[in-house]
Amino acid sequence: MIKLLKNNLGKYKWLGLLAIVFISIQAISELLLPSKMQEIIEKGITPGDVGMIISTGIDMLIISAVISLCAVCASLLISITSSGVASNVRRAIFVKVTNSSNNQIGKFGTASLITRTTNDVSQIQQLVVQSRFLFFTPIMGIGAIIMAVIKAKELSWIIAIVGVFLAITVVIIISFATPLFKLQQLKLDKLNLVLRESLTGVRVIRAFNRTKQDQKVFEDANLDLTQTSLKVARIMAVMMPVVMIIMNFTTILIYWVGSNYINDSIISMGQMVAFIQYVMHVMISLMFFSMILTFIPRATVSAERINGVLDSTNEIVDNGSQDSEKLLSGIEFKNVTFRFQGAEQPVLKNISFKANPGETTAIIGSTGSGKTTLIDLIPRFHDIESGEILIDGQNINDISIKDLRAKIGLVPQSAVLFSGTVAENIKYGKEDATQEEIEQAAKTSMAYDFIMRKPGGFSETISQGGSNLSGGQKQRLSIARALVRKPEVYIFDDSFSALDFKTDAKLRAALKSEITDAVMLIVAQRVSTIMNAEQIIVLSDGEIAGIGKHKDLYEHCEVYKEIVLSQHSEEEIA
Amino acid sequence: MTNQSNRPNQPPRRGPMGGHGPGGHMMQGGEKAKNFSVTIKRLLAYLKAVKIALLLVLAATIVSTIFSTVSPKILANAANSIQTTIMQRSIYEEIEKNLGSVPTNITGEQIYSMLPESITSGLAENMKEALFKVDFSKGKPGMDFDYIGGILLLCLALYAFSGIFGFVQSFVMAKIAQKTVYNMRNDVDVKLNRLPMKYFDTYTHGEILSRVTNDIDNVSNTLQQSLTQVISAVVTIISVTIMMLSISLILTLITICTLPLIIIITMFVAKRSKKQFKANQQELGNISGHVEEMYTGHKIISAYSHENISIEAFDDINVKLYNAGWKSQFISGLIMPLTNFLNNLGYLLICAVGGVLAINAKIGLGDIIAFTQYSRQFTQPIVQIANIINVLQSTAASAERVFEILDETEEVSDSKNSIELTNPHGAVSFEHVKFGYSDDKILIKDLNVEVKPGQTVAIVGPTGAGKTTLVNLLMRFYELIGGNIKIDGVNITDITRSDLRSLFGMVLQDTWLFNGTIHDNIGYGKDGSTQEQIISASKTSYVDRFVRTLSEGYDTVINEEASNLSQGQKQLLTIARAVLADPAILILDEATSSVDTRTEVLIQKAMNKLMVGRTSFVIAHRLSTIRNADLILVMNHGDIIEHGTHTSLMEQNGFYADLYNSQFAGKSDNIA
């Protein structure tokens, strides 16, 4: 955590230090007040000197003003520092994630990365805010001890006894409470899980008449959580009264011992009163400090999670320096083998093929056969283990990633759209696309008609994640986005799955006539989608089981035949 | 502080980074209940069940508070006594110095008249009074330890009792709060089970989850802390005021004078901070939204090299968030130092004015000390109440969201004189069925279909045509707007929902499995099924073979995302579940887009076996299924636009023929 703060304090370091200075002045000034009170008692009230009372009162007024002024300044500086640090950390994570490889993202999971960028950063921010007390309470506590001893060293043994006693109590309570806090969170997660399950499965639960049993599971989890929460609440119920009793008893003890000492003229009344106030400060500081300490474990967990992201390394190194060629000579895989980091088996083994411009190369195979992985190698989402991938005759590692990706129009499996207008989403493929280009792309992707049916047409707003569009509409827009780019290589990763057969057929026909000189790579599940491709690659367990045209493969490739038969009955083929 | 430390790891409210911005609960004023008083009343009604315990809490709080507020005043007597003795001593020494020796049989007044002018003129009123009280028969005045000891013991007892009652109060309140919340959660769960499916379409899971956990949690914390805080704050204010008045009217007035200032400042700051907090929440929402969108679209961003653009957009929001963040943090942080200053102002006024009063023997020194404590105890609950009002606002908003669920209209209840189908044949008829998910958007206008027992009905149509609508109607997840659906001639509304649903077996594309063993997941189909039955169902549905390859076999626990099974295996499990349930009518979804081919063959075989002798509704994707179906229902835009057999529909040359031709025809010949 310290490392994280150190790296991200930046220019806020000096503000933070200044805040600590103000905090220290505030603490020290506050310690002067009881001492002034003593002066009033000893030099004002006892001898009956009104002038003295008033002048000391003015001193106290000035001190209070200084205290508040310092507190305000410290508050301002801490606010700026905490927001600043949070903003720095947040940016560092975002930049890191944005420039990470798919692999890195997959390792953490998108949902986890989102919480790390938002919630975990908030935790760090909270810690910086709380750190004000982290500095204030020890200064205050230690200062109060020193002052108390100076005021009445004869009474200082009381501090030692009570301090130890209070510390032990607080430690015991916190050591009981902390594991319970964790347990409570676990039980809450469990309850959440149970409820989430019954929400996602509501149809099945009702269809199978399991409502009663399901309710029982929930009740159990609920009871479990309630019992743990009750324990936590009860420990807290003990804590406050116990601490109060210790503090009040201490006061009484000081009164008793003090009155004896006064009687023997060892200390004065003013000393005793000041001593009581300082001891109260010591105890309150100790309590606050231990409570602040409970924040630290939480923040540490967050800091570790954030560091996990910041420290992860991107295995894709971009050191391509050659100018990219514009030969349009297609893509070639030469004996490519790839495995995921630490995996025992390679996902792809000895893949070799050539995809020519103006032709369609289709990839088919069962789930887990490595289709998506194969096409992900082309834009270098992963780096291969051995072999070579050539684009326009150049090794893809020799050109910069930016140049490489500029050649590719990717349409991923799940159509991702961004909030903004329809036109903006299509323009994502080519920033300077003209309205005509956008419309042309929309027409080819069979999106034009439904766009025009929208009240806003191309300026219709798409909500986050494209939730106001159907699956098929999203897919067509993400195809339009690739089309407007006019890339050398099109990659369609199962991009027609949400389309009905009719639209699918129409779209492919339009693509065929529109794209004449680019490489078309299509990953598909449906045989009917790819039957007419110039080249079909059949993947099975990461190896090529066959390459060829539909007819040849159906006759000679066992795996392919199996796939065809699973989708079409024997009779319809015959 | 306790408020914070008591709720660690609190899950975020509504989405990442939700409501707990900097400052936590303190000045959070964004959320407001629509109808505050009604909601609070309703919340209190929940507490009626624990009325006696609540009275106990009330009593304990009052006693505890009174005991702790009385103590300083009593303790003041000890201080007064000590101070008096000190003064008596100093004057006694003075007399001794002047007169050489002090007579024992004399009163303070007599001594006073004997003293020379030089001493008496400088003697303050309090000194004079102290002198008059000296008992000269005892010689040099000493501490009255009996008196002091008695007072200290009394205070000791008061503090101890106050502590014990305080403990009783929080202890009982913990039970009350947890019990109430427990009941509330159960109520919501029971309610959710009675809500129509429509409800789950309108609210996202996240929204419902957040209500059951975060909102209820919020209510629980308020019950646990704020309620007793309000009581003790009110009691404190009253008893402290009485105590202060009993010591000194002037000092009480001084203390009360600072109050309006504190209130004005708190309100002033609160108003500003509310605005800043809103801005902060807004920016937090924006940044979460952006982050979520960009992370989800990461693949596209890198494929299209949009990294820098995405970072620029992030920076824009991040700077705005930074500005809103420190401003809201700072403004809400102003309250503490400002009220503290006013507190200190009051404190030193008390010291000064009290000092003068003490010199004039109007009050004792102990009274001043007690008074400084009271003045703090007086302002503290007022600031506290101001905070609690804010907390109550957000609690009411939370409670309201929970009550909203409880107030939703439930499913139409089962018919009172329901009919039980003892030996179902599986004949299904739709008679003039009219349906729409909302009244103003009718999807199915007038559907009439007759399905004989054992027939296979294929439902076809483009994606999004509403094929699951039919399933929803059959299972009575939704109510019809007009017409009837009958099974074996009995209207489904005359059958209890549980009886009706037990007639059906469902295998859907969305394979829902729960976090439990494979054994339990299959057994879900039929309560109390034996190991043999489960294994036999597994064998029929080709589950047995792959389960046995798992190291734990049937005891393998399916994890949260069921990521330890492939999609196809999951589908097979749901088939096994249906096999075990042995229903009269089947509902199958053939969509297999993400299943590998070999498993696909198994699924198909298992489904075919399952369909034998049962009426089956199949959301069909396979040509063979469609062609062999006894009845085809063609759907588009939510409505059934055509129905008939394959041949009759082809002859119609309508939508089906068109669909069929675009999908399969023209290719059938060149497939081989």
Residue B160 has phi, psi (to 5 degrees) of -65, -45
Which has the closest alpha carbon to B507: B622, B598, B421, B592?
A: B592
Subunit contact A75:B515, Cβ cutoff 8 A: no
Q: What's the distance, CA A405 to chain centroid?
A: 27
A242 shares contact with chain B (CB less than 8 Å): yes
Subunit contact B337:A244, Cβ cutoff 8 A: no
Q: What digits encode the pLDDT tens for the residues A551-572?
A: 888 888 888 887 787 666 555 5
Q: What digits encode the pLDDT tens for the residues B401-459?
A: 888 888 888 887 777 777 777 778 888 998 988 888 777 777 788 888 888 888 888 88
How many other CB atoms are found less than 10 A from the CB of residue B407?
10
> Is 50 exceeded by the pLDDT of residue B1?
no
CA dihedral B600, B602, B607, B613 (to 10 degrees): 150
> Which has the higher per-residue pLDDT, B216 or B270?
B216
Residue A144 has phi, psi (to 5 degrees) of -65, -40
> Is 60 exceeded by the pLDDT of residue B26?
no
Q: Say what the pTM is.
A: 0.72
Beta bridge partners of B447: B433
Contact A36, A60 (CB under 8 A): yes
Quote the CA–CA distance of A108 and A117 in Å, as a whole number.
12
A477 shares contact with chain B (CB less than 8 Å): no
* pLDDT value for B32: 63
Structural domain count of chain B? 2
Which has the closest alpha carbon to B654: B664, B665, B643?
A: B643
Q: Across residues B359-365, what is the average pLDDT? A: 78
ipTM of predicted complex: 0.81
* pLDDT value for A415: 77
| Chain B residues in contact with A192 (beta carbon < 8 A) | 11, 209, 213
Sequence-separated (6 or more) residues with CB below 8 Å from residue A157: none
* pLDDT value for A503: 79
> Is 50 exceeded by the pLDDT of residue B29?
no
Q: What digits encode the pLDDT tens for the residues B306-324?
A: 888 889 999 999 999 999 8
Q: What digits encode the pLDDT tens for the residues B505-517?
A: 878 766 677 777 8
Quote the CA–CA distance of A142 and A368 in Å, as a whole number.
64
Subunit contact A233:B1, Cβ cutoff 8 A: no
Q: What digits encode the pLDDT tens for the residues A505-545?
A: 788 888 888 888 889 999 887 777 788 888 999 988 788 88
List b or e across B410-432, with b for residues whose CB sees 16 or more CB atoms inside 10 angstroms. Answer: ebeeeeeeeeebeebebbbbbee
As a whole number, the mean pLDDT across chain A is: 84
Q: Are residues B258 and B372 in the same domain?
A: yes
Q: How many CA atoms lie within 13 A of A8 on its CB side?
A: 26
CA dihedral A441, A447, A453, A456 (to 10 degrees): -50
Which residue on chain A is closest to B72 by alpha carbon? A248
DSSP A337: E
Contact B77, B150 (CB under 8 A): no
DSSP B557: B
Helix (H) or strand (E) holding B167: helix B145-194
Identity of the residue in A71, A236, A259 whose CB atom sits nearest the CB atom of B6: A236
Residue A358 has phi, psi (to 5 degrees) of 80, 0
Q: Which domain holds residue B531?
A: 428-664
> Is 60 exceeded by the pLDDT of residue B4?
no
Query: Hey, what CATH topology would domain A329-403+521-574 get?
Result: Rossmann fold (3.40.50)
Q: Are residues B364 and B482 in the same domain?
A: no
Q: Which residue has the tokens 């009474």?
A: A155
| Chain A residues in contact with B658 (beta carbon < 8 A) | 502
Subunit contact B295:A97, Cβ cutoff 8 A: yes
Q: Across residues A403-428, what is the average pLDDT? A: 86
Q: What digits encode the pLDDT tens for the residues A84-131?
A: 999 999 999 999 988 888 778 877 777 778 878 887 888 888 888 888
How many other CB atoms are found less than 10 A from the CB of residue B13?
18
Tokens, residue A425: 């989403």
How sure is the predictor about B595, in pLDDT bands with cuts at 50, 70 and 90?
Answer: low
| Chain B residues in contact with A280 (beta carbon < 8 A) | none
Q: How many CA atoms lie within 13 A of B199 on its CB side?
A: 19
Q: What digits encode the pLDDT tens for the residues B144-180?
A: 888 888 989 999 999 999 999 988 988 888 888 888 8
Quote the CA–CA distance of A83 and A72 in Å, as a whole number.
16
Within a domain: B506: yes
How many other CB atoms are found less than 10 A from the CB of residue A30?
23
Q: What digits encode the pLDDT tens for the residues A193-216?
A: 788 778 877 777 777 777 788 888
* pLDDT value for A344: 66
Q: How many CA atoms lie within 13 A of B459 on its CB side?
A: 26
Q: What one-letter code names the amino acid at B642?
A: E
Q: What digits encode the pLDDT tens for the residues B136-154?
A: 777 777 778 888 889 899 9
SS3 (DSSP) at A519 = strand
Where are the extended beta strands (E) located within B147-259? none
Which has the closest alpha carbon to A390: A314, A485, A488, A484?
A: A488
Within a domain: B327: yes
Q: Across residues A139-159, what is the average pLDDT? A: 86
Between CA B427 and CA B435, with CA B430 as vertex, the angle to 5 degrees is 145
Q: Are residues B191 and B297 in the same domain?
A: yes
Domain stops at, among B407, B440, B475: B407
> Which has the higher per-residue pLDDT, A477 or B595?
A477
* pLDDT value for B40: 83
Contact A74, A26 (CB under 8 A): yes
| Chain A residues in contact with B186 (beta carbon < 8 A) | 218-219, 222
How sure is the predictor about B18, in pLDDT bands with cuts at 50, 70 and 90?
Answer: very low
Q: Where in the sequence of chain A do the CATH 1.20.1560.10 domains occur?
A: 1-149+296-315
* pLDDT value for B402: 87
> Which has the higher per-residue pLDDT, A74 or A574?
A74
Tokens, residue A482: 């690739």
As a whole number, the mean pLDDT across chain B is: 79
Sequence-separated (6 or more) residues with CB below 8 Å from residue B350: B251, B254, B255, B368, B371, B372, B375
Subunit contact A294:B658, Cβ cutoff 8 A: no
Subunit contact A252:B224, Cβ cutoff 8 A: no
Strand order in the sheet with B585-589: B504-507, B585-589, B615-619, B456-460, B631-636, B639-644
Quote the CA–CA distance of B655 and B632 in Å, as a whole number.
12
Q: Where in the sequence of chain A do the CATH 3.40.50.300 domains occur?
A: 329-403+521-574
Strand order in the sheet with B482-487: B444-451, B428-435, B482-487, B490-491
* pLDDT value for A21: 92
Domain stops at, among B352, B375, B407: B407
Quote the CA–CA distance of A512 and A533 in Å, as a whole number.
10
* pLDDT value for A573: 56
Picking from B89, B203, B469, B596 by the largest number of A CB atoms within 10 A of its own CB, the best residue to mutate is: B596
Subunit contact B365:A269, Cβ cutoff 8 A: yes
SS3 (DSSP) at A56 = helix
> Is 70 exceeded by the pLDDT of residue B105?
yes
How many other CB atoms are found less than 10 A from the CB of residue B567?
18
CATH number of the domain at B229, please.
1.20.1560.10
Q: What digits encode the pLDDT tens for the residues B614-672?
A: 888 888 776 677 788 888 888 877 778 888 888 888 888 888 887 777 655 444 434 43
SS3 (DSSP) at A382 = coil
Beta bridge partners of A166: none
Helix (H) or strand (E) holding A182: helix A156-200
Subunit contact A79:B330, Cβ cutoff 8 A: yes
CATH number of the domain at B570, please.
3.40.50.300
Q: What's the distance, CA B290 to chain centroid?
A: 26
Within a domain: B308: no
Contact B404, B255 (CB under 8 A): no
Subunit contact B593:A95, Cβ cutoff 8 A: no
Helix (H) or strand (E) holding A334: strand A331-338
Domain stops at, among B407, B442, B467: B407
Tokens, residue A304: 């570790």
Tokens, residue A389: 């991938």
Q: Are residues B442 and B393 in the same domain?
A: no
Quote the CA–CA distance of B564 and A356 in Å, as a whole number.
39
Subunit contact B325:A259, Cβ cutoff 8 A: no
> Is 50 exceeded by the pLDDT of residue B518?
yes
Beta bridge partners of B449: B430
Q: How many CB pairs under 8 A join A and B?
A: 467
Could you tell me what percent of chain B has a pLDDT over 90?
Answer: 4
Q: Are residues B497 and B534 in the same domain?
A: yes
Quote the CA–CA distance of B47 and B623 in Å, as a whole number.
62
Identity of the residue in A249, A563, A568 whose CB atom sits nearest the CB atom of B159: A249
Q: Are residues B400 and B502 in the same domain?
A: no
Which has the closest alpha carbon to A402: A424, A378, A379?
A: A379
| Chain A residues in contact with B368 (beta carbon < 8 A) | 45
* pLDDT value for B8: 33
* pLDDT value for A389: 92
Q: Are residues B391 and B454 in the same domain?
A: no
Q: Are residues B398 and B324 in the same domain?
A: yes
Within a domain: B106: no
Q: Are residues B373 and B507 in the same domain?
A: no
Helix (H) or strand (E) holding A29: helix A12-39
Q: Across residues B322-334, what is the average pLDDT? A: 85
Helix extents (H) in B495-566: 497-502, 518-523, 531-540, 543-549
* pLDDT value for A305: 83
* pLDDT value for A288: 79
* pLDDT value for A557: 87
Which CATH number applies to A1-149+296-315?
1.20.1560.10
Within a domain: B119: no
Q: What one-letter code names the amino acid at B423?
A: N
Identity of the residue in A118, A229, A550 whose CB atom sits nearest the CB atom of B288: A118
Within a domain: B432: yes
| Chain B residues in contact with A485 (beta carbon < 8 A) | 304
Identity of the residue in B127, B163, B358 whose CB atom sits nearest the CB atom of A244: B163
Q: Are residues B187 and B262 in the same domain?
A: yes
* pLDDT value for A362: 92
Q: What's the distance, CA A77 to chain centroid?
A: 27
SS3 (DSSP) at B319 = helix
Q: Are residues B466 and B389 in the same domain?
A: no
SS (H, E, C) B657-668: HHHHHHHCCCCH
Q: Across residues B549-578, what is the average pLDDT? A: 75
Quote the CA–CA distance of A461 and A466 in Å, as a whole number.
9
A188 shares contact with chain B (CB less than 8 Å): yes
Q: Are residues B432 and B399 in the same domain?
A: no
Within a domain: B128: no
> Is 70 exceeded by the pLDDT of residue B225?
yes
Contact A321, A400 (CB under 8 A): yes
Contact B79, B369 (CB under 8 A): yes
Within a domain: B131: no
